[in-house]
Amino acid sequence: MKVGKGEDILVTHALGSCLGLIVYDPVTKVGGLLHAMLPSSKINAEKAEVNPCMFVDTGVPALFKSLYDLGAQKTKMIVKAAGCSNPLGKNEIFKIGERNYTVVKKILGENNILLESEDVGGNGSRTVYLDLSTGQTMVANNGKKRPL
């Protein structure tokens, strides 16, 4: 996870089954990017305590708290998601990408937060870019880069 304000561009690479959650407040120009690998911290509470951003259920609240600490306001936030794919194909037994997406949608729904846009599913890998000065979010996969 990385949060900030200013002229930086935040980037996360290799979003396969992982969740990439992008949050930006255009008024304060505060934004953040979470790259969470697994849906539930219940599988390893010790790891979740050391690195809550490894898991969707603990990483999403950590991202929002960090943004609030920098002055972002919930009512102004633009929220986007990427990743949650199934890189091993339809027969992948654990369905990590699908489960990551289900957990983030549940957390956001419980907090009355809607996704403005998403690029999830499929079987490819994505790279996400967040420009903190403008809020522009780009997603790249298969050699093509486009707005999210």
DSSP states along the chain: -EEEESS-EEEEEEESSSEEEEEEETTTTEEEEEEE-BS-GGG-HHHHHH-GGGBHHHHHHHHHHHHHHTT--GGG-EEEEEE---TT-TT-SS-HHHHHHHHHHHHHHHTT---SEEEE-SS--EEEEEETTT--EEEEETTEEEE-
For residues 97 and 16, is the Cβ–Cβ distance under 8 A?
A: yes
1, 3, 10, 18: which one is catalytic? 18
Q: How much is the pLDDT for 3?
A: 98
d(CA 67, CA 114): 17
pLDDT digits (tens, 9 = 90+) for 30-77: 999 999 999 999 999 999 999 999 999 999 999 999 999 999 999 999
Task: Specify the pTM.
Answer: 0.95
Instruction: Work out the pLDDT band at 87, boundaries 50, 70, 90.
Output: confident
Q: Once rounded to an integer, what is the mean pLDDT over residues 89-106?
A: 89
Whether pLDDT at 1 is above 80: yes
What token pair was written down for 12? 């996360």
Q: How much is the pLDDT for 133?
A: 96
Q: How much is the pLDDT for 118?
A: 98
**Amino acid letter, 47:** K
- The domain made up of 2-147 is a member of CATH 3.30.1330.200: yes
84 catalytic per annotation: no
Query: How many CB atoms are located within 10 Å of the residue 30 CB?
Result: 25
Per-residue burial over 94-103, b if 16 or more Cβ lie within 10 Å, else e, is: ebbbbbbbeb
Give the highest mean pLDDT range of 5-9, 78-82, 94-98, 123-127.
78-82
Whether pLDDT at 88 is above 80: no
pLDDT digits (tens, 9 = 90+) for 132-142: 999 999 999 98
Contacts of 125 (CB under 8 A, 6+ apart): 14, 15, 16, 85, 87, 141
